[in-house]
Chains A and B, each alone.
Chain A
């Protein structure tokens, strides 16, 4: 498991999905499964910007980039590559 994935999972479990006892499957849909709701997205975006030092423009906050832990990880990796 990459460090990016671990950090995202930990943030979701600690801050956003409090009370979730089971593990999060990196490919499961975070929103239709009810793990996250719309209010969680803003926090998730702020966390990613601070933790990984990447800017997340409004237009990037779409279902494809954020629907699962794997998707978020790929998005962050892509943004980091652009910054370098």
Chain B
């Protein structure tokens, strides 16, 4: 059968191996057959509620078996799933709901106490499906019990095509308002099929799902895993906070494919009691989202001699991955990892300011074309247009490239190196500085466990470079030691004016360092 919708992976799996587990959480699981039936029932409920093709439906709950049934059910109803971060402030959730016009939200017991506040903050009509509230507070409420009991188990008959919208992922915008990145079934499948093939996923694989659903990494865990007929094991929210619990989770569930931000892996390496667990089941350790400092990657590779490692590189706008790299053991220097080579489903262009290709070895912006590229930002046609370069090959024949904003340079071996964000390239006292380069210099100090470089404006309105670092336990170095170390790699004007030693760095809900929060705290302290 030709696969052209994301939900086909589940229906294929139900036909091929109905009793094989598709999703697991703790000791509970949904087989492929059960997931197919439950998602059909949810789709029938949504169709009955009047959901039509392209309608956005929210998922506001902690990750669980029902969450994944909802995800596929929304797709089968022709809808577009919009994951709402269960740990985000209610005001932000309400903003997303209004921004993309969500009328139905799936939720669960865990979010029950937030629902009344959410309803009061959303001006339009909002129906909440899922929580078994017995106090009758909500109109239009449906409980899981009645979905499983009353709804047909056959899939609704709809006309759907691969170019239909499938999901919208909201990411933090530089303006402070989240923006919704729209992806189609085609872009989801383009990535998932590439990934399933590249990493050789098979039905006996057991994938971890560490990332929250609003983070694009999760589309690998579910769509690539399910295309391969594999089992995806949810890392419970509570466990994901404890490195040693994550280590035991990998051992207990015999995880063969782990995928997360480097931060989680570094926590496992440093605090996960990794030596007292058998992690021999791991076959691939995948990471994305932030650079993985080589000093930790080397140690982790030594602890897991049987596993292969790979970095997946790409913004949410190009659906997880456009460039990938498989570092080899023994060849890892302290230099940052290259982002590697393009995935076979993308065409890349490294361009100068005039959008012409740069010569080999020159720095340019990475532009990407291919099935993985987003449709655009929800409700922002101008902003979307500004992010694309349209090249005309012949009259009426055009190619559309997404401008990633990432600065890259090809090395002699053909690998691409990431040099930083175009918008993290700043001017300070007239000098051009790559903040990411400054950060890498800080991270290269052996005593530094985590580090971040960020920008604040001084009283004259010019840029000041600041840094924050978390040291390894029982390391005693001063900010001056760190600066001396950085001064060996950077020109004086690129050095931070101050390095704060901290016990921790603030992180976003996807696990990346929250530099905006760091800057806001400093600015608040100076103005107070």
Residue positions of A touching B, CB distance < 8 A: 29, 31-32, 34, 36-39, 41-43, 57-64, 66-67
Contacts and interface: CB of A to CB of B under 8 A. Distances in A.
A59 B238 contact: no
Nearest to A39: B504
A65 to B, nearest CB: 9
Interface in B44-70: 62
Contacts of B248: 62
Contact of B237 (A31, A39, A42, A60): A31
B272 A58 contact: yes
Interface stretch (B239-247, B353-361, B415-423): B239-247
Contacts of B87: 34
Given A43-B503, A60-B244, A62-B248, A29 B238 contact: yes
Given A32-B62, A39-B504, A39-B507, A59 B276 contact: yes
B244 A31 contact: no
A16 B468 CA distance: 20
B241 A58 contact: no
A59 B247 CA distance: 9
Contact of A62 (B245, B267, B503): B245
Contacts of A34: 87
B286 interface: no
B503 A42 contact: yes
8 contacts: A39-B507, A41-B242, A57-B273, A58-B272, A61-B243, A61-B244, A63-B241, A64-B245
B110 interface: yes
Contacts of B242: 38, 41, 61-63, 66
A62 B237 contact: no
A41 B241 contact: yes
Contacts of B245: 62-64
Given A38-B240, A39-B507, A58-B273, 16 more contacts: A31-B241, A32-B238, A38-B267, A39-B506, A43-B503, A57-B273, A59-B244, A59-B273, A61-B243, A62-B244, A62-B245, A63-B236, A63-B238, A64-B245, A66-B242, A67-B238
Given A61-B271, A62-B244, A31 B504 contact: no
Nearest to A45: B271
A40 B27 CA distance: 28
A13 to B, nearest CB: 18
Contacts of A57: 273
Nearest to A37: B241
A62 B267 CA distance: 13
In order of increasing CB-CB distance, the 7 nearest A-B pairs are A59-B273, A38-B241, A39-B504, A62-B245, A31-B238, A63-B245, A58-B273
Contacts of B244: 58-62
A11 to B, nearest CB: 14
A59 B87 CA distance: 27
Most buried by A among B62, B110, B244: B244
B148 to A, nearest CB: 24
A61 B243 CA distance: 8
Nearest to A41: B241
Contacts of B271: 58, 61
Given A39-B507, A58-B244, A63 B239 contact: yes
A64 B236 CA distance: 13
A5 to B, nearest CB: 20
Interface in B206-246: 236-245
Interface in B241-274: 241-245, 248, 267, 271-273
A31 B236 CA distance: 11
A32 B239 CA distance: 10
A83 B276 CA distance: 22
A39 to B, nearest CB: 4
Contact of A32 (B237, B243, B267, B503): B237
Given A39-B507, A42-B503, A42-B504, A58 B243 contact: yes
A28 to B, nearest CB: 12
Contact of B110 (A32, A42, A59, A60): A32
A29 B507 CA distance: 21
A58 B242 CA distance: 10
A43 B473 CA distance: 12
Nearest to A38: B241
Contacts of B241: 31, 36-38, 41, 63
A63 to B, nearest CB: 5
Contacts of A63: 236, 238-239, 241-242, 245
